[in-house]
Amino acid sequence: MSRYLFAKKRAIRVVLWGCLIFVVMWSFGPILFVIVSSFKFPRDIFTVTPRLFFTPTIYNYRQLIAGWPDFWSSLLNSTLVTFGTCVLMAVLSCPAAYALSRMRGKAISITGLFLIIIRMFPPIVVSIPLYPVFTFIRLVDTPWSLILIFTAFEVSVTVWILKAFLDGIPKELEEAAWIDGCSKLRAFLYIVAPLLAPGIVSAGVITALYAWNEFMFSLVFTSIRAKTAPVVISEMLSAVTGVEWGPVFAAATLQLMPALLVIWAGQRYLVKGITLGGVRE
């Protein structure tokens, strides 16, 4: 009997591992495929039967440098936009989240309602009236347009994340500091901020991933100088002369690597952030 149970348990284990491998192949397989293919010579990419063994080469990356100078400036733009969004986001959402967590009053509850409602507005709808305005004030095709838009659209998520983390930090700590004669700003910077660090990392990871990967606004609001990497990759896909897959794979790999590293290193913060900021109390 116990032997039978043991065998059954083993069988279940094998099936579960099988399912896991299937799920991982589905989610990570395509990404791995592109990364690997970016190191293949075109003759190894364009085969009827996919090739497992090949001589690695940086040929495609050379082609990318030669054929798509746009891509390198777009990587720079993406970096700039990502950093800018994170900084502006931190400056705006830390104080707001603090107020939402610690204070009561009409201004606070209106802000709360506000932050829930703006999630209902389809982003593309807002781009229609913004476009003429941004053209008028010369913001179109600058990183600034994207920094402002990304911050405005993602702020609701980060504020909820930070608020949830702040709710978990006892108020008494600050109050003790106030009584000892510490100013409110100093108390925030020296007592609350260090405890809030994991929350800031969570919010930062989510904001950075969003700004690095965003496609729709970048497509609408950047056209020549300020193009971000996703926009250039989508242009490479629609080349009239047929897609040059080698450079596309190289560009995709360069664009997704930083984000993958963030997911790997910041997994804990990402999971926490999405859970708190997205949808749950």
For another protein, the binding residues in 113-132 under the rule CB under 8 A are 113-132
Identify the residue among 146, 187, 220, 226 touching another protein (CB under 8 A).
220
Least distance from another protein to the Cβ atom of residue 272, Å: 8
Q: Which is nearer to another protein, 18 or 56 (CB)?
A: 18
Least distance from another protein to the Cβ atom of residue 62, Å: 19
Least distance from another protein to the Cβ atom of residue 173, Å: 19
Least distance from another protein to the Cβ atom of residue 84, Å: 13
Q: Which is nearer to another protein, 196 or 233 (CB)?
A: 233
Identify the residue among 7, 11, 20, 87 touching another protein (CB under 8 A).
20
Q: What is the DSSP string of the chain?
A: -HHHHHHHHHHHHHHHHHHHHHHHHHHHHHHHHHHHHTTS-HHHHS-SSPPS------HHHHHHHHH-HHHHHHHHHHHHHHHHHHHHHHHHHHHHHHHHHH--SHHHHHHHHHHHHGGGS-HHHHHHHHHHHHHHTT-TTSHHHHHHHHHHHHHHHHHHHHHHHHHTS-HHHHHHHHHTT--HHHHIIIIIHHHHHHHHHHHHHHHHHHHHH--HHHHHH-SSSS--HHHHHHHHHT-TT---HHHHHHHHHHHHHHHHHHHHHTHHHHHHHHIIIII--
Q: Which is nearer to another protein, 66 or 185 (CB)?
A: 185
Q: Which is nearer to another protein, 58 or 116 (CB)?
A: 116
For another protein, the binding residues in 228-267 under the rule CB under 8 A are 229-231, 233-234, 236-238, 243, 245, 248-249, 252, 255-256, 259-260, 262-264, 267
For another protein, the binding residues in 158-187 under the rule CB under 8 A are 159
